[in-house]
Every structure is written in C-alpha cells, then in structure tokens.
Amino acid sequence: MNRLLWAGAFAAAVGFAGCGTDDPEEAAEKAPRIAAPAFSADSAYANVAAQVAWGPRVPNTAAHRACGDYLIAELTRRGLEVTVQAGKVRAYDGTLLEMRNIVGSYKPEAAERILLYAHWDTRPFADKDTLRQREPIDGANDGGSGVGVLLEVARHLTAENGPDVGVDIVFFDAEDYGRPEWAPRTDTDYRDWCLGSQYWAAQPHKVGYRAKFGILLDMVGAKDAVFNQEGTSLVYAPTVVTKVWSAARDLGYSTLFRSDKTPQTVDDNLFVSEIAGIPSVNIVHYQVTVLPMGYGAFHHTHRDNMDIIDRKTLDAVGKVVMDVVWNE
C-alpha cells in the first residue's frame, strides 16, 4: 500500500483512542509470562514461497482462485473451522471483483477472542516501478509475508498447549486494488483500498462478532525491516500498541519494533477498528528515519519477490504475535 490518511477524514477516531484492552504491564504483574510454542521461520518462509509460486494473486484471475483454494485447504488441514465469505466489490475503475475473505477459527465457541489478519491478494500493477508498470507484482512481502506468518501461527493453535483464548485468523481479499499512481487523486481515495476488510467490517462472518483486539500483519518479511508504531494504530488502539511492542521488547526485538511514530496510514486495521469496532494495530514495514520514507524501495515494484524475504524477520514477527496470543 502507499497511502496516508487524509487530514480530518477520521476525526471520530479521537473518541475511540481510549478504548482497548487492559494495560499489558499491569497484566504482566498479575501472572508470569507463558512461553509460546517454537515458531518455525523455515515453515513461514515456505508458506510465503508457496503463495508466490501461484503467481500474482490478483482478483478475477486463475492464480488468485487457485491460491484462495490452497489457503482454505491449509487452514482446514491445521484443524481450524473455516468460513469463506464470498462477495463482489467494485474497484476504483468500476471493475467488479470476485473476492473471498477466508476465516480460520480456533475455539469458535469461546466468547473471548483475538483477531489476527493479513491480506492475501496482490497489487495488479507495479505502479512505483520504472519498468512493466502495468503488470502485476509477485507480492512476496506485500501480501505473502503476513499470510505466511499466520499460517505458521495456525499450525500451533490446535496443537498441544494451544492458547486459552479463541483466535480468528482472517485473510482479507481485494486489499491492494487501489487507485494507481498515474490515476487522478480524489478526496475519497482511501476507500479504493482494503475492499475485503471494508466488506467484512460491515458484515462480519458471524453476526454480532466481537474480538478484544486485532493484529494486522502487512509487509512483515523483508530483510532489514523496521516496524515503527503506525499512526492509525496509535489513534484507535494505543494500549494494544503498548501490548505488542512491549512483548517485542521483552523478547529482544527492540531493533525491529521501534518507538518511532509513522503518519496515519490507510490499511485494513483502519476499517476493522472504525467500522467493526475492534481496536487493531498494524505491524508494517514503514521507514521514518531512512530514505525513502515509507514502505521501502521495493514497495509496489517487481522487486517485491522472494529475494527480499528474510527468515529472521518472519521469525521475529511470528514470535511476537504468538507471545501476545498465548499470554492473553
């Protein structure tokens, strides 16, 4: 993605900033930390490679349909209750997109739940590249990495010593079909993005669905990644940011999970927080002290391929997410 929140577009968010979960430092004083199962970076890397092998996962293509079927099978194989939310959404240029939001639920009967999510589609253009701009990208990092990590997390949920809380893993579709760089800008550009999460947030896969909080993984696999505290997350879910970044610090990942703040961005966590009312944080590679500022030089280019994916980055993110979930 490459978008910043339009100033004033979400002033209502200010009233939401006080919502969220209990202070994680207070919770830590009440009970000792639970050691989560061992996250496998090799498994997460293989999950990313398997998606890329299908080709660009652009809605309305054969590769997109095949990869969606694969993800459904993988969540089922890991023992989760799978729900497929199919629908039609309209892209910025009027194209009608066939989309599927794919949900894997652990302990579906549990009232207390955590939402983990990523998008599984890929960008239909390389609009920030200098060559082949009209061709789709591999999306190894932007799309593939978050899904790869969550598939590995899913493997541990139904194994021995799974977490006590219910967990829903959601793979949102049609996230990256937003207006390209060459198209004229409008004041409502932000709604061109995240079509799958907007669809789900307005009508979740289960009527009355609630979760304590959500964690979005977007672009979490690149070598030398940095995960600064994303601006929209700080508006909607400041206590959840504290929870996740504190876990990263305790696990020794402060060089990855930094305390610098990014601008407010438009991503799936915006719509899940605002429309569905589930305070969510975004773990996303966004540089603020290194040029180019933003999502990295490979963002929305053909360089977003398996060559930039790093097992160490996947490992750190996976361990942080599992630590938070197992200790909730």
Q: Render pLDDT for 152-169 as a digit per residue (tens, 0 to 9).
A: 999 999 998 999 999 999
The reported pLDDT for the residue numbered 28 is 46
Q: Render pLDDT for 195-208 as a digit per residue (tens, 0 to 9).
A: 999 999 999 999 99
Q: Rounded distance, CA 308 to CA 98, Å?
A: 30
CB 121 within 8 A of CB 64: yes
Q: Give whole-number Cα distances, 133 to 123, 180, 192, 225, 304, in Å.
A: 11, 10, 19, 24, 13
Indicate the pLDDT class of residue 19, thresholds 50, 70 and 90: very low
CB 28 within 8 A of CB 37: no
283 versus 29: which is more confidently predicted?
A: 283
Taken in order of first residue, the domains within the chain and their CATH numbers are 13-326 (3.40.630.10)
Q: Render pLDDT for 30-82 as a digit per residue (tens, 0 to 9).
A: 568 899 999 999 999 999 999 999 999 999 999 999 999 999 999 999 999 99
Q: Rounded distance, CA 278 to CA 272, Å?
A: 6
CB 155 within 8 A of CB 170: no
Of the given ranges (12-21, 188-197, 260-269), which has the lowest mean pLDDT? Answer: 12-21
3-state helix, strand, coil in the chain (%, to 5): 35, 20, 45
Closest CA to 97 of 83, 106, 87, 107: 87
Closest CA to 108 of 211, 224, 262, 260: 211
Q: Give whole-number Cα distances, 193 to 8, 62, 297, 301, in Å.
A: 18, 22, 20, 17
Q: Is the peptide bond before 292 cis (omega within 30 degrees of 0)?
A: yes
Indicate the pLDDT class of residue 306, thresholds 50, 70 and 90: very high
Q: What percent of the chain has pLDDT over 90?
A: 87
**How much is the pTM?**
0.92
Q: Render pLDDT for 239-298 as a digit per residue (tens, 0 to 9).
A: 999 999 999 999 999 999 999 999 999 999 999 999 999 999 999 999 999 888 899 999
